[in-house]
Amino acid sequence: MRENCDVSLPGEKQANGHLHPFSQAINQLADIFLSMGFEVVEGPELETDFYNFQSLNYPPFHPARDMQDTYFVKNPHGKENLVLRTHTSNVQVRTMEKRTPPLRVCTFGRCFRHDAIDASHEQVFYQVEGFVVDKEISVSNLIFTMKSILSAFFEKEVEIRLHPSYFPFTEPSYEISFTCVNCNGRGCSLCKGSGWLEIGGSGMIHPNVLKAAGYKEGEWQGFAFGWGLDRLTMLKYKINDVRWFHSGDLRFIRQF
């Protein structure tokens, strides 16, 4: 090269695409789950009442169904409407009935909520779910597993906090919060000063779910947890509005 060559000139532009932040988060989470021995499975978005509700211990007309604002789809072949899955938990019995434990499974996918959209709530949202079925599985294992995965995902040690709650398909059931990754628990605008971020639900798999899967009563135990992937992704990349995800706006996508 000549001595007076301006080496600060930009190089030739190369083709370079961008994975949607959801895909990036899913890839990263899948790697973490895999490293802990969880296999990755997928389930249908258009689902029957059985897998979305009944097999998960939501009897017909149970008030717990109100927790789920459900989109229904006309069934061209039958009387009973189909549903757009309200959670990725439809994968639980679908997987269990095909398999014999021990099971360590995770799943990622699109879910639907029949409710108004705002900056933090989408009608079409994504969940990440993990569940384990084995001989001796405890609440303490559940806490460890969730803490490890969240710490790995945010690349810093986080603490987990559980609140007693109610979901028909787990017993006991807990809401999960973890240390605010923005302020490390000191309190900021993101966590509304509490130092904690809510991320989803969890619990020990209800015996009725294991029964619906065809397992012999009392033989197996398990835990399950489901988190908002939208929320995790927003936290990870500091995205301020959930509506960006489906915007199809390349000014958004090309930042990742």
Site residues (CB under 8 A) for another protein, limited to 96-155: 102, 104, 110, 114, 116, 123-124, 132, 134-141, 143-145, 147-148
246 binds another protein (CB under 8 A): yes
**Can you state the angle between helices 139-154 and 229-237, rounded to 10 degrees?**
40
How many chain residues interact with another protein (CB under 8 A)?
84
Segment interacting with another protein, rule: CB under 8 A, options 2-10, 44-52, 185-193, 234-242: 44-52
Q: Could you give the 3-state DSSP secondary structure of residue 4? A: coil
Question: According to CB under 8 A, which residues from 226 to 245 bind another protein?
Answer: 245
Helix (H) or strand (E) holding 205: strand 196-205
Question: According to CB under 8 A, which residues from 68 to 97 bind another protein?
Answer: 71-77, 81-82
Nearest to 228 by CA among 144, 113, 132, 138: 113
Contact 206, 171 (CB under 8 A): yes
17 binds another protein (CB under 8 A): yes
28 binds another protein (CB under 8 A): no
Contact 143, 221 (CB under 8 A): no
Segment interacting with another protein, rule: CB under 8 A, options 3-11, 65-73, 179-187, 234-242: 65-73
Q: Give the whole-angstrom CA distance, residue 86 versus residue 82.
A: 12
Site string for another protein, 210-229 (x = CB under 8 A): -------x---x--------
Among 7, 9, 63, 189, binds another protein (CB under 8 A): 63
Question: According to CB under 8 A, which residues from 173 to 202 bind another protein?
Answer: 173-175
Q: Give the whole-angstrom CA distance, residue 109 versus residue 125.
A: 8
Q: Give the whole-angstrom CA distance, residue 189 versus residue 183.
A: 9
In the numeric block, the tokens 């017993």 are attached to 171
Among 39, 50, 190, 236, binds another protein (CB under 8 A): 39
Least separation in angstroms between CB 184 and another protein: 19
